[in-house]
Amino acid sequence: MSVSVLGAGAFGTALAITLAERGVTLWARDPDAATAMQKTRENATRLKGIHLPEGLTVTSDLTTACAADTILMAVPMQSTAAFVTENADLLRGKKLVACSKGVDLTSLRGPTAILAEVTRAPAIITGPSFAIDIARGLPTALTLACKNPILGEELQETLSSATIRLYRSTDPVGAELGGALKNVIAIAAGAVMGAGLGESARAALITRGFAEMMRIAGPLGAIPETLMGLSGFGDLTLTCTSPTSRNYAYGFALGQGADYDPTITVEGAATARAVARLARDKDIEMPITSVVAALVEGRLDVSQGMQTLLSRPLKEEI
């Protein structure tokens, strides 16, 4: 089975590196960047110092990349819908695997719902992972979720590597929700630490954030227990505790009242806004998500956000 990765960001490049032993094509939108990567054998912008193995071919020709049987979609979440629409003829009927995390701000859909426009059984790879760890060959365990169990087994076999262990799930909605929602909580956790509120406050926030993730899972069509696995609790643990996380680092900057590099994609910012809308529409209580949405929109500062959460009515823990 031939494999391509669409999107030469850090995560897409890292996945391509792990699959290079069996041959993989990595598509980069910028022709100059693709030429440079193919020649220098390095993605100097996203993964500086990491060698691109010889089994990895970089191209800016989308038609060539889409000739593969299996396509890993590492396009940023907020660009996925437009990309699929623009390239529907090339993608239709392929084995598509989402590799982005988030909720589309316009349609309030996750990545597999968007990919379902052009393929019957879209899958998703998600879980606790930093691109640099994957690229360096450090051991990583991820969830591969697909409603079709036979296709899921096939993809698991094709996409696993010596350093990436894939666990199957038949709940792609739950898997993608875990990957999306943990970024929102990571922003809040970073803000807590940036504001100097302490480890105890962060632990409480992570715990209550996980309760919010579980609360919305069922109404959105997911199996809540899925979020107890790698794609939910596992990813939440990693992202809320490491400064390597872009979402955590963004939240930390918010907590300090500092600027954050606007060229760095922070999917949790858009996801917070989208999920806050979903929660209101479905009358689901998600106070942390609502506060994060207000923070990224500039409607609250961190001090006001913490006061909003702490002044909520006392209740039983559920």
Q: Which residues are annotated as a binding site for NAD(+)?
A: 7-12, 131, 246
Buried b (16+ CB within 10 A) or exposed e, 42-70: bbeebbeebebeeebbbbbebeebbebeb
| Residue of 48, 94, 182, 282 marked active site | 182
Q: Is 265 left (phi over 0), alpha (psi -120 to 50) or beta?
A: beta
**Phi, psi at 53, each rounded to 5°:** -60, 160
Q: What is the DSSP letter of 98?
A: E
Question: Are 270 and 105 a contacting pair, CB within 8 Å?
Answer: yes
Active site residue 182: yes
Residue 129: CA atoms inside 13 Å, Cβ hemisphere, count? Answer: 29
Can you tell me the distance from the alpha carbon of 201 to that of 112, in angstroms, rounded to the nearest whole number?
34
Q: Beta strand 140-146 with 123-126: parallel, antiparallel or unpaired? A: antiparallel
Determine whether 152 is exposed, middle or buried from the number of CB atoms within 10 Å of its CB (0-12, 13-18, 19+).
buried
Q: Which residues are annotated as a binding site?
A: 7-12, 29, 101, 127, 129, 131, 182, 235, 245-247, 267
Q: Which residues are annotated as a binding site for substrate?
A: 101, 246-247
Q: Which residues are annotated as a binding site for NADPH?
A: 11, 29, 101, 131, 246, 267
Can you tell me the distance from the alpha carbon of 175 to that of 128, in angstroms, rounded to the nearest whole number?
12
Both tokens assigned to 131: 């691109």
**Degrees (nearest 5) of the Cα angle 233, 143, 261?**
65
Would you please indicate which residues are annotated as catalytic (active-site) residues?
182
